[in-house]
Structure 1
Amino acid sequence: MFLPELKDAEDPLPSFPDLEQRLQPVLPCRSLKESIEVYKNHCKMANEFNQVKHEIARLEDRKMELMAELLEDEKASMEFARLEEEYRILTEENRNLITVHSQRAQQLETLRVISQKRQGSS
């Protein structure tokens, strides 16, 4: 965006609306080659500064997106761990219930056999 040459006052000069006033390039003294070179360099640096500033803003936005995703992932991970623990507890409870059911079924069968023997002996 810097000018190859500053010919006359009708040439459009670059503007940097996002740049603080104190950092704006100062118009050169057109009769001094060094002044024009300094101005061109300043314009080039202002462009680079704007690009870096926009890139930083873009990266900060991306950082916020990633942080939000991380928070969601952490919530999902915590929910998964909670469900995993609940599953472990329920599986253990199920095993215990199956064992108790088996024991009670065996006791019932034993009581039936005893009851049948008593009825058969009477």
Structure 2
Amino acid sequence: MITTARVPADKPIRIAFSLNDSADDTPPENAFPLAFPDLEKQLQPLPPCHDSKESMQVFKQHCQIAEEYYEVKKEIALLEERKRELISRLDQAEKENMDAAQLTKEYANLTEENRTLKLAQTQCVEQLEKLRIQYQKRQGSS
């Protein structure tokens, strides 16, 4: 026996049927397809009793909750990925800051060394000039 029901166009339709000729109109529990294959088995909506409106309503509510759960789980996964990306960028920025600090320190050291070397050069030039003057005086007096 095939039954039809109105289903909104935006909802996926799952059809299950059996080819054996059983007189029993109630489908076996394992013949009902998993409504949410990515959802853990214990969270799957249980097949409804088709004779009970209340059972069908509970099943629909469970499906809605399972769908919301799946969406939230998907959003959490996306947020965790974004978190990993931001942590990676933060680590990179911290590394760059450490590199910049190290380069700044190295620049300061080299600047100080350059200043010291220029001072030493100036002193050497002055000393050389004094020695030339002394040498010229000796040459002139001899």
What TM-score do the two structures reach when normalised by structure 2? 0.72
Alignment: residue pair count: 115
When the two chains are superposed, the root-mean-square deviation of aligned CA atoms in Å is 2.0
Identity among equivalent pairs (%): 50
Instruction: Map 1:42-121 to 2 at 5 A.
Output: 42-121=62-141
Secondary structure class of the residue paired with 1:28: coil
Gaps of 5+ in 1: 1-5
Give the equivalent residue in structure 1 for 2:19. Answer: none
Q: Could you tell me which residue of structure 2 aligns to residue 3 of structure 1?
A: none
Runs (4 or more) in structure 1 with deviation over 6 Å come to none
Q: Relative contact order (C-alpha < 8 Å, sep 6+): which is higher?
A: 1
**What is the TM-score when the length of structure 1 is the normalising length?**
0.82
More helix by share: 1
Is 1:31 the counterpart of 2:48? The answer is no
1:104 is matched by which residue type in structure 2?
C
Kindly provide the CA deviation profile for residues 17-56 of structure 1, in whole angstroms up to 9, marking residues without a partner as x.
Answer: 1111111111222232222221111111111100111111
Question: By how many angstroms is 1:121 displaced?
Answer: 2.3
Structure 2: any 5+ residue segments left out of the alignment? 7-12, 16-33
